[in-house]
């Protein structure tokens, strides 16, 4: 009996090819519970089959109800790659050469919303938790960008959630990258200039202690602003923006080769207009 005929008699894990010479196995919610012995009898010949085909990385997406199979996968050489609320992703590198499997996502993305009205008042909040809790410090709304959410959309959402104020994204004034921040991940933080579309404030009771419109000079005069280097630089950037000596980055709708969905490229639109008019 030739090898192909033998494989037809052996149950193998269903897989799809990825774009990098590997395979992806999705044990989704439709899979019935399976004991580790049965799973091992399918896993080992599957790995042998993929090795024969010259495959490299093997990704196994394990739903939460099949968590009993984790130990089997680990003992066969699989490593944790990342986890989500309803699944765990494990990966195995077949060749003897060094692995080229990309690491798990390395960054968390956050936004800070600098909402300034026509009176040059800034929308500020005091939080019920966090590093500034109980200090009396007034800060602008901040938050984390959700998966699949654009920076400009996240800034509008965070302002609405924390203060009830509707706002319009204007531009990214600046951004900061830091490391070993949240569970050892790096952090990207975007400071967004916003224009208010409403003025009435309705604070988010679960997270926000108080919110108000405050004259920018009063906000900038808070002692913590001068002591906190990042906040001091942000203040100076905004003042340069007011004096028309600074231009931030605005979103231009475009598409990427790596995704069919619409995306944004943030550019200095003011300088682009000046260059195109020359």
Q: What is the maximum span of the chain, computed from C-alpha positions, in angstroms? A: 85
Tell whether the torsion through CA atoms of 48, 61, 258 and 177 is positive or negative: negative
Given the residues 149, 161, 207, 209, the one annotated as active site: 161
- 171 catalytic, yes or no? no
Task: Write the CB contacts of 126 (distance below 8 Å, at least 6 apart in sequence).
Answer: 132, 136, 137, 138, 139, 208, 209, 210, 211
215: left (phi over 0), alpha (psi -120 to 50) or beta: beta
Task: Tell me whether residue 141 is exposed, middle or buried, using C-beta atoms within 10 angstroms of its C-beta: 0 to 12, 13 to 18, 19 or more.
Answer: buried
Radius of gyration of the chain (CA): 26
Q: In what order do the strands lie in the sheet with 142-144?
A: 142-144, 107-115, 185-196, 167-182
**Residue for token pair 């499997």:** 101
> From the CB of residue 44, how many other CB atoms can be counted at a distance below 10 Å?
13
Instruction: Give the residue numbers marked as catalytic.
Output: 161
């Amino acid at each position: 009996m030739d090898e192909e005929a033998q494989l037809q008699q052996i149950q193998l894990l269903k897989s799809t090819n990825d774009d990098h010479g590997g395979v992806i196995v999705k044990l989704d919610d439709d899979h019935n519970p399976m004991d580790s012995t049965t799973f091992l009898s399918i896993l080992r010949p599957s790995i042998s089959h993929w090795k024969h085909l010259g495959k490299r990385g093997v990704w196994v997406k394990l739903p939460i109800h099949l968590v009993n199979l984790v130990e089997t996968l680990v003992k066969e050489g699989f490593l944790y790659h990342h986890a989500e609320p309803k699944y765990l992703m494990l990966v195995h590198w077949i060749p003897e050469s060094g692995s080229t499997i990309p690491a798990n996502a390395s960054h968390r993305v956050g936004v800070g919303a600098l909402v300034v009205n026509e009176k040059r008042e800034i929308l500020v909040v005091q939080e019920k938790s966090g590093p500034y809790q109980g200090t009396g410090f007034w800060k602008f709304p901040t938050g984390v960008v959700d998966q699949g959410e654009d920076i400009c959309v996240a800034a509008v959402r965070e302002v609405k959630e924390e203060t009830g104020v509707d706002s319009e994204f204007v531009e990214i004034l600046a951004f900061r990258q830091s490391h070993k921040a949240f569970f050892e991940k790096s952090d990207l933080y975007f400071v967004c200039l916003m224009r208010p579309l409403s003025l009435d404030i309705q604070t988010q009771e679960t997270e926000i202690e108080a919110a108000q419109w405050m004259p920018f000079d009063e906000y900038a005069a808070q002692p913590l602003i001068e002591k906190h280097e990042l906040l001091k630089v942000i203040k100076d950037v905004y003042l340069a923006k007011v004096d028309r000596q600074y231009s931030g980055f605005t979103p231009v709708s475009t598409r990427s080769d790596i995704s069919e969905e619409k995306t944004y490229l943030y550019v200095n639109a003011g300088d682009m207009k000046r260059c195109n008019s020359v």
